[in-house]
């Protein structure tokens, strides 16, 4: 039982392989009668064109890459789903490529991956979307790419993003509106694109409401639960404890909630906690987390779409902003009377 090829179909239909090829690629200049006959045979013989042969012979491989380096499972899955959905409707296939480790070797591998697999283009998720090495490598090989949530070289390439500054600012202002004045902040790791932005939003909100940015109220984590737990423990043991903590992602917010539980601080009556991302954990922990919905799925979806458009020489917009959404749940409340 060997593979069914275009030759089998062409023989059965009594046409040349080129005609079958034309039908399969929806090219013009095929009589509708012939087209129908070929299509019927394709169905009957259960013929599936070889992608390898296609990408070898043609200009396109109908394969794009999704490149990320992110520890958060939910983020990754949303990314994949968004990109996959778009790939599916456009007849593309997706190769996922988690870049583990920050070493340079994986960066060099990247161009290799694209070349080996004949990728038509790649979608770059943060923090890789800001890596100058990665960008340089891709450009050197003239590889098309779309970046998700970059913070540097905005104008240079297509990208899709959300306004992290405005979102962080709005969340902080929400806490201020609830009466909080000592608002702690758990920052992300330095160097990560969104870290600066979310912190900036936090400080802008404070300043515009006449509040000082107290370094005693700012700590730092690695965007992981454990690091958030540790940072929150430090923050909540300070002499002047904050009445609200804004963690710059949900995992660290979950850590903060755990720390509060440990210390017997009821949420939100004695401590308000806000997160960022609206990941799965936000809906699952007690109390449910007030957070900013990051449109990861939509961004990946849009990024893939822009990539396809640029592959089709259909000059895509330089950048697309996807709106975020405040999600107010039960982890935040008015400042304690005290």
Closest approach of DNA to the CB of residue 21, in Å: 3
Nearer of residues 24 and 265 to DNA, judged by Cβ:
24
Cα–Cα distance between 172 and 70 in angstroms, integer? 26
For residue 337, state whether it binds DNA (rule: CB under 7 A): no
For residue 7, state whether it binds DNA (rule: CB under 7 A): yes
Take residue 223 and report the two structure tokens written for it. Answer: 């965007």
Instruction: List the interface residues with DNA, window 9-38 (CB under 7 A).
Output: 14-19, 21-22, 24-25, 28-31, 33-34
Which H or E run includes 17?
A: helix 17-24
Nearer of residues 31 and 59 to its own copies, judged by Cβ:
59
Nearer of residues 159 and 281 to its own copies, judged by Cβ:
281
Nearer of residues 12 and 282 to DNA, judged by Cβ:
12
With CB cut-offs between 5 and 8 Å by kind, which of its own copies, DNA, none does residue 25 bind?
DNA
Binding mask 280-299 for DNA (x = CB under 7 A): --------------------
Closest approach of its own copies to the CB of residue 277, in Å: 13
Nearer of residues 79 and 218 to its own copies, judged by Cβ:
79
Sheet holding 159-161, edge to edge: 93-98, 63-68, 121-124, 144-148, 159-161, 319-321
Closest approach of DNA to the CB of residue 29, in Å: 4
- Give the β-pairing of 144-148 and 159-161: parallel
Nearer of residues 9 and 194 to DNA, judged by Cβ:
9
Nearer of residues 33 and 43 to its own copies, judged by Cβ:
43
For residue 92, state whether it binds DNA (rule: CB under 7 A): no
For residue 47, state whether it binds DNA (rule: CB under 7 A): yes
With CB cut-offs between 5 and 8 Å by kind, which of DNA, its own copies, none does residue 96 bind?
its own copies
For residue 199, state whether it binds DNA (rule: CB under 7 A): no
For residue 61, state whether it binds DNA (rule: CB under 7 A): no
CB within 8 A of 284, min separation 6: which ones? none
Q: Which residue matches tokens 């401590």?
A: 271
With CB cut-offs between 5 and 8 Å by kind, which of its own copies, DNA, none does residue 274 bind?
none
State the number of binding residues for DNA (CB under 7 A): 32
Angle at 220 between CA 286 and CA 166, to 5 degrees: 75
What's the Cα-to-Cα distance from 226 to each of 8, 41, 127, rounded to whole Å?
59, 58, 20
Quick one: which of 40, 44, 56, 284 contacts DNA (CB under 7 A)?
56
Nearer of residues 54 and 198 to DNA, judged by Cβ:
54
Q: What is the CA radius of gyration of the chain?
A: 25
For residue 138, state whether it binds DNA (rule: CB under 7 A): no
Sheet holding 244-247, edge to edge: 218-220, 183-187, 244-247, 272-274
Cα–Cα distance between 290 and 273 in angstroms, integer? 7
Q: Which of helix, strand or coil describes residue 221?
A: coil
User: Exposure pattern of 107-123 as b/e (b: 16+ CB <10 Å)?
Assistant: beebbebbeebbbbbbb
Tell me if the bond preceding 51 is cis, omega within 30° of 0. no
Applying CB under 7 A, the residues found at the interface with DNA are: 2-3, 5-7, 14-19, 21-22, 24-25, 28-31, 33-34, 47-50, 53-54, 56-60
């Amino acid at each position: 039982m060997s593979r069914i090829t275009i030759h089998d179909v062409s023989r059965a239909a009594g046409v040349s392989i080129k005609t079958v090829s034309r039908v399969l690629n929806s090219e013009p200049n095929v009589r509708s009668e012939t087209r129908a006959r070929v299509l019927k045979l394709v169905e009957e013989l259960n013929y599936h064109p070889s992608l390898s042969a296609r990408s070898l012979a043609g200009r396109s491989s109908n394969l794009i890459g999704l490149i990320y380096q992110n520890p958060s499972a939910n983020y990754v899955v949303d990314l994949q789903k968004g990109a996959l959905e778009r790939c599916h409707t456009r007849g593309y296939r997706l190769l996922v490529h988690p870049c583990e480790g920050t070493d340079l070797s994986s960066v060099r591998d990247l161009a290799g991956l694209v070349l080996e697999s004949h990728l038509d283009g790649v979608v770059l998720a943060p923090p890789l979307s800001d890596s100058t090495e990665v960008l340089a490598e891709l450009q050197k090989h003239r590889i098309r790419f779309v970046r998700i949530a970059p913070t540097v070289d905005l104008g240079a390439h297509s990208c899709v993003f959300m306004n992290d500054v405005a979102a962080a600012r709005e969340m902080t202002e929400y806490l201020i509106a609830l009466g909080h004045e000592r608002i702690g902040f758990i920052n992300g790791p330095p160097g990560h694109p969104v870290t600066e932005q979310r912190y900036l939003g936090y400080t802008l909100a404070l300043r515009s409401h006449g509040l000082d940015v107290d370094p005693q109220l700012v700590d730092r984590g690695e965007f992981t639960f454990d690091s958030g737990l540790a940072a929150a423990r430090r923050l909540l043991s300070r002499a002047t404890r904050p009445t609200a903590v804004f963690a710059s992602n949900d995992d660290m917010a979950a850590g903060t909630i755990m720390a509060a539980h440990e210390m017997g601080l009821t949420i939100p009556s004695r401590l308000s906690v806000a997160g960022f991302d609206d990941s799965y954990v936000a809906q699952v922990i007690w109390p449910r987390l007030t957070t900013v919905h990051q449109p990861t799925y939509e961004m990946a979806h849009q990024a893939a779409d822009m990539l396809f458009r640029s592959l089709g020489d259909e000059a895509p917009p330089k950048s697309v902003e996807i709106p975020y959404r405040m999600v107010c749940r039960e982890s935040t409340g008015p400042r304690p009377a005290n």
